[in-house]
Structures are given as structure tokens and as C-alpha cells.
Copies of this chain bind each other. A is one copy, B any other.
Amino acid sequence: MLIEDRLKEIQEKIMKKVPKGIKVSSVEFEGPELVIYTDDPKTFADQDDLIKILARDIRKRIVVRPTILEDPERAASAIRHVVGENAGISDIFFEADCGEVLIEAEKPGVVIGKNGATLREITREIGWTPKVVRTPPIESSTVKQVRQYLRAAHQERKELLKRIGRRIHRDVISKDQWIRVTTLGCCREVGRAAFLLSTPESRVLIDCGEKPDSFEATPYLYVPEIHPLSQLDAVVLTHAHLDHCAYIPLLYKYGYEGPVYSTPPTRDLAAMLQLDYLDVVNKEGKTIPYSSNEVKEFIKHSIVLNYGCVTDIAPDIKLTFHNAGHILGSAISHFHVGDGQYNVAFTGDLHYGKSRLFNPAVNHFPRLEALFMESTYGGAQDMQPSRADAEERLYGVF
């Protein structure tokens, strides 16, 4: 079925469920989401469980957006006007490709208002959906730069998400059923993590890292089943360390045009480390494998997902991130293939135990047939000492 016909069919299905009086002006695939555009998002949202019911029926992640959004500059001044000086707003970031506005404030409670009254007023005034976060104690120049760049690229990104969305929701053609994993690095060696997950229908690359202390060894990107890179469905990044993320920008240099899925912190940390990597390679007197332009491509093509959010990334593959407990944003990537056909997860680096910074890695999945688990430096006879023991021994050393 043509994607336009599919969208028309979905729109008709939605219209039947939506109460009279609410106009659905259009529906569109944008990245992994199905976006319903309506003149009256407020009334839409007021319908009990309507979005949940639609999501269950259509089996897509659904978001509702106003057909027309207020101009960001005017919207920003409207927000400041509604909220008042007292909240200490430090940044207002419009995520145009999802119709959300991120309000960073020293006093988030003031922005939210009593029982969310202020937030509702903001929505009424500007159409954008407000999200509130506390101003961090130390300003991150990386986060600032990433936001600036996404702001500048938002029109391009809108087109890009539409293209990706249509690719994700294409028809499944193949009659065969199989999945396979090609290890492109980090097996019987340290570093250059990269796995290719293939089905007859689609191909997903998990991580694309460097080999520590080697400035030349990329993963085995010449294996035939990864080519053409332009036809790869998705890249999934488990976490921001260089042995997992360093060569993702290189993919854009060689023709990849698709999305990189990661958690929000992973995107920002990875971009920071990639730029630092280029700097280090350069200072070592080696040829840099890509430029900051390709890091920008990575940011532009990033689609961030929170833990637990089940997301279509290909016609026959759903991705869910789970906390890996390793670093900020680190995620075990769980893939559900076909309609209940197979489940496989890649842990990336993980920490199996509660630490002072993070919850332990998730080790419970609804279904799992195969697990690819990081075991770098772990020997068959090795034992992890308890935290208490380890700390005691550390005190002994001092």
C-alpha cells in the first residue's frame, strides 16, 4: 500500500473515534511517531483516554499537535508574561519538530502553578506543549550548543523526520522470517563496539565505536551486509563512551542518512566526546576521520527516547531502552522483531548493582530470546568484590 493511502486510511479511522466538533486537519508520520494535527488540541486532550485508545487501535506512538503554532519569539514573550519574573526562567527552548517548548527555570514550581494552572494557561496562549525543568547548577555549554544547533536546523529536521517516518512505516514485503546479528567489532577484543542486526526486511546498526589507543581501527564496516549505508534503517547508540559512539559521524560521511536513536543525555554527551575525539586525534598528528560537520549531522539526525518507551524504528522492529546503570543515559537496547517472532537485547556497558550515582541495570524484560552482554576485561573466573569490601580495601591503600 502506498504510504499516502495508509495515512488516509489512518486519518479516517481516527475521525470515526474522535467526537464531533474536533477537527483532525491531517495525520503524518514524523520519525517514529504518528502526529495528529488538530485546530483544537486542548479539547482533544480533554477527552478521557482518547489518545490511549487510538494508540492501542492503530498500534503507533501518537502525539497530538495544534495545526498552527505561535511564532517562537512571540510565544517566548507570552510565556514570560504569563509566568512572571519570579520563576527565574533561564532558557526557553522550542522543539519545533515535536511542538514542545522546554522551559528551564530556577523555580519550576512557579512555572507549573497551582495544580498546573499556569502550564494550562501557557498552552491556551501559545499552542505549544510546555515541559518544565530546573535550571542546572552549572550551565552546560554542550547542551546549549546542541539546542542552538537544533534550533537553527529545525526546518530541515522537520523534513528529515517526515522522510524517516515514512520509511519506518513502509509495508513489510519479505515472506521469510529470520534475524541475524553480525559482530563488527568488540568480540574477542577490546573496543570498537558495533553490531548489525538484520532481518529480511530491515537492518539496524548498534553502536559504532573506536578501539582505544588505536586511531585507525574502525569497526569492520566493509562487510557487505551493511551496505549500502544509505539503506540502513537505524543506528542505535547504547551510551556516549567513545568505544561505542566515536565513529557514528563517519557513517554520515559515507552515505548514511537515517536516524540515530539514543537517550537524551547520550546524544549530548556523545556529541561532546566526538568533538573532543577529533581534537585528540588531531593533536596526536593523525588524520581526523571526519569533521565537526559530521558531528552536526549526527545531532541533526538524532531521535531521543526515554527509558521504557516502545518505539517503531523499522517496519518489523520495535526498540525499547532500559537503564544500564553505567553512565548518565546508558541504555540496554531491547529489540522486538516481527510480530512476536524474536527478542534480542544489547546491553552496551552495564553496571549490575546499585551504585552511588545510578540505579542498577534493568534485568527483567517482558520477553528475551538472546542477550548480547558486554564482558570486556571480565574473565571466566573473575569475581566482583562487594562495594563494602572494595571501599574498605581502598581506604587501606590511602
Residue ranges of A at the interface with B (Cβ–Cβ < 8 Å): 176, 178, 220, 223-225, 227
Minimum Cβ distance to chain B for residue A175 (Å): 11
Q: Which 6 A-B pairs have the closest CB atoms?
A: A224-B224, A224-B225, A225-B225, A223-B225, A224-B227, A176-B220
Interface SS of A by simple majority: loop
> What separation, in Å, do the CA atoms of A227 and B225 have in the docked complex?
10
> What separation, in Å, do the CA atoms of A235 and B223 have in the docked complex?
20
Minimum Cβ distance to chain B for residue A222 (Å): 8
Chain B positions within 8 Å of A227 at CB level: 224
> What separation, in Å, do the CA atoms of A224 and B225 have in the docked complex?
5
Minimum Cβ distance to chain B for residue A49 (Å): 43
Minimum Cβ distance to chain B for residue A277 (Å): 23
> What separation, in Å, do the CA atoms of A223 and B178 have in the docked complex?
11
Nearest residue (CB) in B for A200 is: B222
Number of copies: 2
> What separation, in Å, do the CA atoms of A178 and B227 have in the docked complex?
19
Residue contacts A-B, CB under 8 angstroms, 7 given: A176-B220, A178-B220, A223-B225, A224-B224, A224-B225, A224-B227, A225-B225
Chain B positions within 8 Å of A176 at CB level: 220
> What separation, in Å, do the CA atoms of A224 and B182 have in the docked complex?
12
> What separation, in Å, do the CA atoms of A197 and B225 have in the docked complex?
15
Nearest residue (CB) in B for A188 is: B178
Nearest residue (CB) in B for A183 is: B180
Nearest residue (CB) in B for A178 is: B220
Nearest residue (CB) in B for A217 is: B176
Nearest residue (CB) in B for A225 is: B224
> What separation, in Å, do the CA atoms of A223 and B225 have in the docked complex?
7
> What separation, in Å, do the CA atoms of A225 and B203 have in the docked complex?
14
Nearest residue (CB) in B for A187 is: B178
Minimum Cβ distance to chain B for residue A79 (Å): 51
> What separation, in Å, do the CA atoms of A225 and B223 have in the docked complex?
7
> What separation, in Å, do the CA atoms of A225 and B184 have in the docked complex?
14
Residue with the greatest number of chain B CB neighbours at <10 A, chosen from A176, A220, A224: A224
Minimum Cβ distance to chain B for residue A82 (Å): 56
Minimum Cβ distance to chain B for residue A280 (Å): 24
Chain B positions within 8 Å of A223 at CB level: 225
Minimum Cβ distance to chain B for residue A81 (Å): 58
Chain B positions within 8 Å of A225 at CB level: 223-225
> What separation, in Å, do the CA atoms of A223 and B223 have in the docked complex?
12
Minimum Cβ distance to chain B for residue A342 (Å): 13
Minimum Cβ distance to chain B for residue A197 (Å): 14
Minimum Cβ distance to chain B for residue A188 (Å): 10
Nearest residue (CB) in B for A223 is: B225
> What separation, in Å, do the CA atoms of A53 and B178 have in the docked complex?
51
Minimum Cβ distance to chain B for residue A98 (Å): 35
Chain B positions within 8 Å of A178 at CB level: 220
Chain B positions within 8 Å of A220 at CB level: 176, 178
Minimum Cβ distance to chain B for residue A255 (Å): 15
Minimum Cβ distance to chain B for residue A217 (Å): 10
Chain B positions within 8 Å of A224 at CB level: 224-225, 227
